[in-house]
Structure 1
Amino acid sequence: MIAQYQHMVYNEYLPHIIGVNLYVSSKLKPLASGRTKYDPKVDAGMFGEFAAGAFRFGHSQARRDFPRINTRNSAIVEVVDIGNNGFYTDSQYRNGGPATFVAGMMHSPTMVVDTAFAFSIRNQILEIRGKPASGFDLISMNLMRGRDVGLHPYVAYRAKVSLPPANTFDDLIPQMGQNKVNMLKKIYRDVRDIDLFAGILAENPISTAIVGPTAAFIIAEQFKATKFGDRFYYENAPEQTVRGLTDGELAETRKATLGGVICRAFPSNILKVPQNIFQT
């Protein structure tokens, strides 16, 4: 199961996030045949920039709510409000059960990765039902976490992706546009104060990606480390102390798709599952 999960992440999810060019140049695409090789010199640990910065881009994608969809691919009256249902499971079992819940998420597009966030993300994280304002702002928490772990400011990472130095706010305009730069000017006193999380969300996405160049680079570097520095990565050739998958097991693993998992989980409930679920 872990091997199938790894395959779906590397084969289906990553190219959509970081763009095809960086995905291919970083050697993240799973092999059609053969094996990869574990490199003991590569540290597979989590980078602070990844865990406390770049990989939190998904919080910008979160919708405030999404519909429930029945077997005719029609929306059911009740929508699932994220703020009122976060960390509660009862909504999954109403109006057709988990199948309509999953279908609603599957057929509802995410929000664009940018500096805008849904109300539930800004105000309702861990909110107690019936107690308005009992939740907290996840974005503020992200910014503070980056400072707590000692991340450098956003401008310190631009050189890593061959972006020109940013000595003034206006130096950011080519990657962000005037409106976002004006917003950052209102929040930060100096361009060198911009938090990594704020900076990467303000960047325009690169070609075929949903994130900008700095986030894409950090994410790619992390998944390279996780791939080549993990003895148990599913494509690795067997090592002295790690058996690895057999050729037959690996061939079957390479057939795995997230859409296939959903089809098998709800064979009679969902009529339409995209072949590549991340491209809908």
Structure 2
Amino acid sequence: MVMQLAQITDHDLTFTPVNKGFINEGILNCLSCDSMMTVHPQCFPIPVPKDDPYFPYKNSTTGQPYCIPATRSMPGQRTLGPREQMNQLTAYLDMSFVYGSDVCEAKSLRSFYGGRLNVTKHPFKGKPLLPEIFAHPECRSEDKICFQAGDARASEQPSLGSLHTVLLREHNSIATEMSKLNPHWGDETIYLETRRILGAMYQHIIFNEFLPRIFGWKGIKNHGLTLQPDGYYEGYDASCDGTIFNEFSAAAFRFGHSLLRPIFQRVDASYKPLNPPVQLREHFFKPAILYKPFIIDEIILGLVDTPMETLDNFITEEVTNHLFEKKQIPHSGMDLISLNIQRARDHGIPGYNFYREKCNLKKAQNFSDLLEEISPETLKMIIKVYDHVDDIDLFPGGMSERPLPGGVLGPTFACIVGHQFRRIRSCDRFWYENDNPLTRFTAAQLKEIRKATLSRIICNNLDNVKIIQRMTLDLPDHFMNPRVKCSSIPKVDLDPWKERAACSVRNVVINVGSTSHVSPCMTCTCTKEGPICQSVKVTNCFQLARLFTSEAVLEDTICKVQCSFVFRALQEFSESTSGNQLGFT
């Protein structure tokens, strides 16, 4: 499940557009090795070496050199100077993969009824599926139907589509409950507040569950990624630039490619394996499998039950030889890792050794200087490919490092990814823990959001799940992480979002928008989110004594702090006169 959460998080943060053809032309055909001269100057094909274990050196039909097609990323700068690439997505953890990254896209996903999102009715009476979309440019289904979501890659492979579906269902489930809590709310209010709630839950899960598995808890502390146990986060920086680093999107956050397994194991509700498993190469942009009864349950629970691959420099052939392969055409697949390296070169990303120095590691003068971070066996393979230590590309270099204790990433990638997520939090004005009075959640609401777990969301939105481990990013363990009934996993209680006509504080009823004393030295204002109380600054203790009874004043700690000298005199006088209320009404 770590792999799948990493991919969907990447799809929340980064999507780099590539160049297309001239006017009215579509995706470039850059298969020919000379395509940058014969097809389009933005073609950037990858030549296949003679000793490649899978792809042929020459085309068997034409006899011409064989290349893996690649296209340069679209330039984004408006002035002359170094080429800069674009990010089509919002650079924050805002679930743009569910809601879209622009107004038009967001509207196309909404039902405009009850705050809910569009869905497709399940053909076998299961919970609803993602909405269908026709004529998707990359769709490979026989009927040309793929699924629509906030990100165009939702149909890329079945486990990604399954997690998209679970989160769509969670939105609609929250929206339904919100409409019951606040029946006077319209579609727009329910939609926006539901999006706000689910976005906050997602941010909490990423920082509380996902990132600790990537960095280890020590790494979380070192990178300043520790969440508030209570109260609000005061680290928002209004001058902060939240832009996604090119190094992050083009190299470091592609570490998940090493975690991919060649198949997705299916399991039933009792976690018994089902056959056949789902083979990755058979289902690139072919989401028809998700219409089968219980298949989303089987894939999601399979992810929860299956260990991820180790992060290293070994990648499954499903994406190194068969990525987006057309089954009827031999060698029509692509190599994802070669594309990663080619993209980083296109983007002008400096080499691995450059980032070692930036991340407070020793800049290597020769290959042997890398032995502290890279194993001798791996280093031997690197030496076969690169002539000099400065030639090592960032992606293969970072992927070759030993992971830090308790985490997945080595020191260089941990440095880049950690720095990015620290900015994602501190630069986000709408971060769920923020203390801005205009945007923050109430204390009661924030307390509920902190209960959010991926296991609870899965339990809420599968058709037939009864038990699951509490920490779904860790394998089940009888002692450390046992499977428990879904009913025992805490839910996010939405009652704090109920809009009230009045508040009750210490048996004092206050209408919304009104302020009243709830004690002699405390007033409360009733808001739609609940009461907001504050102490009263006493300017005349004797006047206070005339306005309230002695019992009420003496029981109010705030009054005592400000008027202790008067209270002591009143108490002494009260005792001497057997409780007479001289001066009180």
TM-score interval for Structure 1 and Structure 2 normalised by the shorter chain: over 0.9
1:126-275 to 2 correspondences below 5 Å? 126-238=324-436, 242-266=438-462, 269-275=464-470
Equivalent position SS for 1:111: coil
Separation of aligned partners in 1, 2:286 and 2:249: 25
Amino acid at match of 2:445: E
Partner of 2:199: 2
- Asked if structure 1 preserves the Cα contact closer than 8 Å seen for 2:271 and 2:302, the reply is no
Q: Relative contact order (alpha carbons < 8 A, sep ≥ 6): 1 or 2 greater?
A: 1
Deviation of residue 216 (structure 1)? 0.7
Q: Deviations over 1:181-216 (max 9, x none)?
A: 111111111110101101000000010011101111
Partner of 1:76: 274
Partner of 1:50: 248
Deviation of residue 160 (structure 1)? 3.1
**Residue-pair matches, total:** 277
RMSD: 1.5
Partner of 1:36: 233
Equivalent position SS for 2:407: coil
Amino acid at match of 2:232: R
Q: Deviations over 1:119-149 (max 9, x none)?
A: 1110222223444422211101110111111
Deviation of residue 271 (structure 1)? 3.5
Deviation of residue 243 (structure 1)? 1.8
Deviation of residue 218 (structure 1)? 0.8
Unaligned runs of 5+ in 2: 1-197, 476-585
1:118 pairs with 2:316: yes
Partner of 2:222: 25
Equivalent position SS for 1:273: strand
Separation of aligned partners in 2, 1:232 and 1:128: 43
Unaligned runs of 5+ in 1: none
Deviation of residue 62 (structure 1)? 0.4
1:276 pairs with 2:471: yes
Question: Which structure shows the bigger proportion of residues in helix conformation?
Answer: 1
Equivalent position SS for 1:259: helix
Equivalent position SS for 1:19: helix
Separation of aligned partners in 2, 1:47 and 1:256: 29
Deviation of residue 75 (structure 1)? 0.7
Q: Deviations over 1:232-280 (max 9, x none)?
A: 11111126xx5232222222111111111001112x6224322111122
Partner of 2:568: none
Equivalent position SS for 1:181: helix
- Asked if structure 1 preserves the Cα contact closer than 8 Å seen for 2:430 and 2:439, the reply is no
Deviation of residue 31 (structure 1)? 0.8
Separation of aligned partners in 1, 2:328 and 2:450: 46
1:99 pairs with 2:297: yes
When Rg is computed on C-alpha atoms for both structures, the one with the higher figure is 2
Separation of aligned partners in 1, 2:253 and 2:339: 14
TM-score after normalising by structure 1? 0.94
Question: Post-superposition, which runs of at least 4 consecutive aligned residues in structure 1 deviate over 4 A?
Answer: none
Equivalent position SS for 2:308: coil
Equivalent position SS for 1:109: coil
Separation of aligned partners in 1, 2:415 and 2:378: 21
Q: Deviations over 1:144-170 (max 9, x none)?
A: 111111111000111233322211111
Give the share of equivalent positions with the same residue, in percent: 34
